Amino acid sequence: MGSPLLIDPFARHVSYVRISLTDRCDFRCVYCMSENMTFLPKAELLTLNEVDRLASAFVQLGVTKLRLTGGEPLVRRNIMWLVERLGRHLDQGLEELTITTNGSQLARFADGLKQAGVRRVNVSLDTLDSAKFTSITRWGRLDQVLNGIQAAKSAGLKIKINMVALKGVNEDEIDRMLAWCGAEGFDLVLIETMPLGEIEQDRTDQYLPLSVVRRRLARKWTISDIPLSTGGPARYVRVKETGGRLGFITPLTHNFCEACNRVRVTCTGIMYMCLGQEDQVDLRTPLRASTSDDMLIEAIRGGIDRKPKGHDFIINRPKAAPALARHMSMTGG
């Protein structure tokens, strides 16, 4: 009899699932989307009831961490109904329910998220400069996001700031962001830009290796490796001067595939076993084919049995097309 858990061909336990609720977003970040995006018809998206059933099946299969993503998940209508439903699994197999957000809607939802069982949110924030923030997000307002972050902090949510390091754009702000996060009690995670989806510019112009960033930071800050694992791909260090934690997500300079414990499900029910590969499994069809979860669980297990060892990201080919055509907003952040 096989393991009741999800074990891939490389003996990795898949215990972490990121589920996208929508490909829509109220920002148009330059490294993530084109300004004029064509979004999926709403009829193609999983209903919130279907997301609940899907997530519940994963918990039944030993998944201990669920992250809701997008697009921007908090623009999905009736989002709090879903979060409250998923909260019933906490302490019943599910250990953590989290959300990745751009922060624009946090002021509205922070208290409700905490009451539903969410303990931490990841907020994407690449700059503390208002004009630069608008330039990067195209449609965003920094004050709205900062107000949302403070609302989340006041509600008692732990906060992790995700900052994409962009060459020539915000690389001169990393020290400032690190100091701000330390003062506020937030973790900071730096992320290399990933070659996903066509955008208006060449990503090689944006790519900033985090190995270079770490060497620069070490000139000013005292950083030391710590054996922290949050279930994601970040490698963490402690910053002596702030007492805070700094993470590095490095899919290009140092890939994190050897310990990968996660899969992603799009808002249309497509499961990608690897962010950097095109292989996929349709979970929407078995969801809608039967009220029983047998077909769904069989499809999930079949996908995990095909989970690859690692991704194929590469970004150092001048003018090369992105490694994958789909945008991050489609796959789920």
Query: What domains, with CATH codes, occur in the chain?
Result: 16-331 (3.20.20.70)
The most confident of the ranges 24-33, 78-87, 188-197, 247-256 is 78-87
In this predicted model, what pLDDT tens digit does every residue of 176-234 receive, in sequence order? 999 999 999 999 999 988 654 454 555 467 889 999 999 999 999 999 999 876 656 78
Q: Confirm or deny that 290 is annotated as ligand binding.
A: no
What is the SS3 assignment for 199? coil
Q: Confirm or deny that 100 is annotated as ligand binding.
A: yes
What is the SS3 assignment for 297? helix
Q: Confirm or deny that 22 is annotated as ligand binding.
A: no
In what helix (H) or strand (E) does residue 236 lie, and over which residues does it extend? Answer: strand 235-239
pLDDT exceeds 80 at position 322: no
Q: Confirm or deny that 274 is annotated as ligand binding.
A: yes
pLDDT exceeds 80 at position 106: yes
Q: What is the largest CA-CA distance in the chain?
A: 59
DSSP state of 125: -
Q: Confirm or deny that 238 is annotated as ligand binding.
A: no
The confidence score (pLDDT) of residue 172 equals 95
Q: Confirm or deny that 25 is annotated as ligand binding.
A: yes
Q: Confirm or deny that 267 is annotated as ligand binding.
A: no
Q: Confirm or deny that 18 is annotated as ligand binding.
A: yes
The pTM assigned to this predicted structure is 0.88
Q: Confirm or deny that 257 is annotated as ligand binding.
A: yes
Q: Confirm or deny that 236 is annotated as ligand binding.
A: no
Confidence bin at 241 (pLDDT 50/70/90): very high
User: Is the Cβ–Cβ distance between 83 and 113 less than 8 Å?
Assistant: yes
In single-letter form, the type of residue at position 122 comes to N
User: Which of the pair, 26 or 118, is modelled with greater confidence?
Assistant: 118
User: Is the Cβ–Cβ distance between 189 and 249 less than 8 Å?
Assistant: yes
Q: Confirm or deny that 76 is annotated as ligand binding.
A: no
User: Which of the pair, 9 or 198, is modelled with greater confidence?
Assistant: 9
Average pLDDT for residues 16-32, to the nearest whole number? 91
pLDDT exceeds 90 at position 156: yes
The confidence score (pLDDT) of residue 229 equals 66
pLDDT exceeds 60 at position 111: yes
The confidence score (pLDDT) of residue 310 equals 78
Alpha carbons 148 and 141: distance in angstroms, whole number: 11
pLDDT exceeds 50 at position 289: yes
Q: Confirm or deny that 247 is annotated as ligand binding.
A: no
Q: Confirm or deny that 181 is annotated as ligand binding.
A: no
Query: Residues near 170 by Cβ (< 8 Å), separated by ≥ 6?
Result: 126, 127, 132, 136, 163, 164
> pLDDT exceeding 90 applies to what percent of the chain?
72
